[in-house]
Chains A and B, each alone.
Chain A
Amino acid sequence: MTTFRQIVALTRLSMRRLMFTRFMFSNLLLASLPVIMLVVIAVSMKLGNMSGPGLPDLHQGLERMLRFFYLHFIIFFVATVSGFAIVRQDLDDRTLHYIVLAPVKRWAVTISKFIAFWILSAAILLASYWATYLSACLIVAGPSATVRDLFGEAGWFGNLVRESCVIVLALTTYGAIGMAMGSVFKSLVFAPILWVWEATLPWLPAGLKLLALSHYFQSMLPVKVTEKQRMLEILADPASLTLSLTVLACVTAISIAIALLVNLWRECAYIEEQA
């Protein structure tokens, strides 16, 4: 019970501290970009008296936005940057000793921080995606849109739920990697390298695709790309759900284990440097 209370207290403290970091501002800005873009497009179309896509086409458009813009850009950066920041904030601010001197087990500190990151990032990313989805539907269907217009008949709501699950999975895995990077390195220098890796490999032959996490996220998305969009198709050989979940669980577990081990042996040597 005591450890549970400590984890809750430390999660709250970490969330509160993370909200005031400069990373959080950039994350919010990044997450609000799709909605801003949609509004700009809608206003431009209205001013130019242009006709937009119908609702059926819209969902496929959103799916592509999720594949290329969210997964490769927004989720990747929000998750890795926040995962990194949640570990580094105490070290960079030189306030880690307040936590280390509290009677909390080191593993509980790392897990609490990961939970804090996860709650905040999931809230930001899901809010962003749902807001994007609803804004797009409202823009296309108009202000008198019904629930059917918004969620459609052909399993759109189910798709939205599945997409949300992929978003959460992606932020969990990338966030765990970010946390491991924050535990080992002082800067995010390896994040761009990982980003290039993640963004490039899905376009490569099947054997190489298996080395990119983004391939597994793409494989789990519900809407398949049509033949006419073949140029953009990156799911020539989607991985099975079981393989995708296994790989992502392993990568997440290894990353969290690295963070746990490094933080278990971490010293507050900066205090001596200041003295």
Chain B
Amino acid sequence: MASNGSPSAPSIRMLGASRWYGEILGINKITVDIQPGITGLVGPNGSGKSTLMNLICGLMQPDQGRVFVLGEDPWNNPALLRRLGYCTQSDKFYENFTGGQFMESILRLHGNGEAWARRTAAAGLERLNLADAAHKKIRTYSKGMRQRVKVALALAHEPEVLVLDEPFNGLDPVGRRELIRLFVEYGREGRTVLVSSHVLHEIEQMTDRILMMSNGYVMAEGAVREVRDQLRSHPFRVLVRCDDSRRLAARLLEEPHVRGVEVDDRSLTIVTVDPDSLYLRLNELVLDEDFQPDLVTLADENVSSIFNYLAGREHH
């Protein structure tokens, strides 16, 4: 396994990694390579982004498959953790500590001595514009400040791989812009930054390279435009309820974008790669041939939501 950080060597490699929580699926058979630079991890809430990041950072183990970071298994690997920074989604802190005490206490665990921990903590807080708040208790911090402390801690030891789970939560627009600039600089230095968000345009400001997740699967990966194209060729299932379902099925099978039709007594499920064209054709058939459908809906809501999401049709 390559680990020299050269452009061709993946910093993060997952090989058929799966993880369940009892009977609930976290991620399923994910095989993916993540190169140095910034990669966005996008997808709706509950799509498996955090599970994937927790596996990468060694907070959990995969039930199946393997995970490698810089060529090493991250589970129970303290040496690797010196090269890895993780900003989790969790908002829990040592509330009785000041920001400075919190940073310093955690950085002391690196075993590099108190002077290093103090210096690094101060520099980390300074970088995130928290120097003035370093002596205040964390319980008095705003949501945005708490978010910045987490990012400061993840960045403080200058890791080669930086994993950020929804780092923009709770930040105002100025704070978001500053963080985006920081991550972009970090990625330009040749380090690996994996950043998740359910807001696509935040990711697009940092990188064109994304991993799209849904229901524990990687739906698509690559440039945002390529991902949109990949999803356009993804077959959608559209449910139509109509009295004359068999005749309607016969008419729709003539359409080039329709890949198949399943017919019941009063309904049919159409598999299409172009739902927009299907809707237009259905409208024509209703007007021209007097079909009376009482329900037309996408049977696969998740794919629909992702498609809409990528196509920018959803309000964020």
Residues of A within 8 A of B (CB): 1-3, 5-6, 9-10, 12-13, 16-17, 20, 93-95, 97-106, 264, 267-272, 274-275
Within the complex, which residue of A1, A3, A5, A269 is in contact with B21, where a contact is CB–CB below 8 Å?
Answer: A269
**Contact indicator A271/B59 (Cβ below 8 Å):** yes
Rounded to whole Å, the gap between the CB of B100 and the closest CB of chain A is 14
Within the complex, which residue of A97, A103, A271 is in contact with B82, where a contact is CB–CB below 8 Å?
Answer: A103
* With A94-B92, A102-B106, A105-B78: A268-B111 Cβ-Cβ less than 8 Å: no
B89 on the A face (CB < 8 A)? yes
**Contact indicator B111/A9 (Cβ below 8 Å):** yes
Q: Which residues from A are CB-within-8-Å of B50?
A: 271-272, 275
Rounded to whole Å, the gap between the CB of A108 and the closest CB of chain B is 9
Q: Which residues from A are CB-within-8-Å of B21?
A: 269, 272
* With A103-B79, A264-B76: A13-B105 Cβ-Cβ less than 8 Å: yes
Rounded to whole Å, the gap between the CB of A259 and the closest CB of chain B is 16
Q: Complex Cα distance A45/B42, Å?
A: 75
Q: Interface centre among B46, B88, B165, by most A CB within 10 Å?
A: B88
Within the complex, which residue of B90, B108, B109, B113 is in contact with A94, where a contact is CB–CB below 8 Å?
Answer: B90
Which are the 7 A-B pairs with shortest beta-carbon distances?
A: A9-B108, A102-B109, A2-B111, A275-B50, A103-B78, A103-B81, A268-B59
**Contact indicator A103/B89 (Cβ below 8 Å):** no
Q: Mark B154-186, 1 if CB is under 8 A from A, else 0.
A: 000000000001000000000000000000000
Q: Which residues from A are CB-within-8-Å of B58?
A: 100-101
Rounded to whole Å, the gap between the CB of B250 and the closest CB of chain A is 47
Q: List 14 A-B contacts (CB under 8 A).
A: A5-B112, A6-B111, A9-B105, A9-B108, A10-B109, A12-B108, A97-B90, A98-B153, A104-B109, A268-B60, A269-B60, A271-B50, A271-B54, A271-B88
**Contact indicator A97/B88 (Cβ below 8 Å):** yes
Q: Which residues from B are CB-within-8-Å of A103?
A: 78-82, 109-111
* Chain A, Cβ-Cβ closest to B26: A272
* Chain A, Cβ-Cβ closest to B113: A5
* With A2-B111, A5-B111, A272-B26: A101-B89 Cβ-Cβ less than 8 Å: no
Within the complex, which residue of B59, B76, B93 is in contact with A95, where a contact is CB–CB below 8 Å?
Answer: B93
Q: Complex Cα distance A104/B111, Å?
A: 8
Q: Which residues from B are CB-within-8-Å of A101?
A: 57-59, 81, 84, 86
Residues of B within 8 A of A (CB): 21, 26, 45-46, 49-51, 54, 57-61, 76, 78-82, 84, 86, 88-94, 96, 105-106, 108-113, 117, 153, 165
Rounded to whole Å, the gap between the CB of A20 and the closest CB of chain B is 5
**Contact indicator B94/A17 (Cβ below 8 Å):** yes
**Contact indicator B76/A272 (Cβ below 8 Å):** no
Q: Which residues from B are CB-within-8-Å of A99?
A: 106, 109
Rounded to whole Å, the gap between the CB of A273 and the closest CB of chain B is 8
Q: Interface centre among B45, B46, B112, by most A CB within 10 Å?
A: B112
Within the complex, which residue of A13, A268, A272 is in contact with B108, where a contact is CB–CB below 8 Å?
Answer: A13
Rounded to whole Å, the gap between the CB of A22 and the closest CB of chain B is 13
**Contact indicator A268/B93 (Cβ below 8 Å):** no
**Contact indicator B89/A271 (Cβ below 8 Å):** yes
Apart from A6-B111, A100-B58, what are 19 other A-B pairs with CB-CB below 8 Å?
A5-B108, A9-B108, A13-B109, A95-B94, A100-B59, A101-B58, A102-B106, A103-B80, A103-B111, A267-B60, A268-B54, A271-B54, A271-B90, A272-B50, A272-B54, A274-B90, A274-B91, A275-B46, A275-B50
**Contact indicator B110/A102 (Cβ below 8 Å):** yes
Within the complex, which residue of A17, A97, A98, A104 is in contact with B78, where a contact is CB–CB below 8 Å?
Answer: A104
Q: Which residues from B are CB-within-8-Å of A105?
A: 78
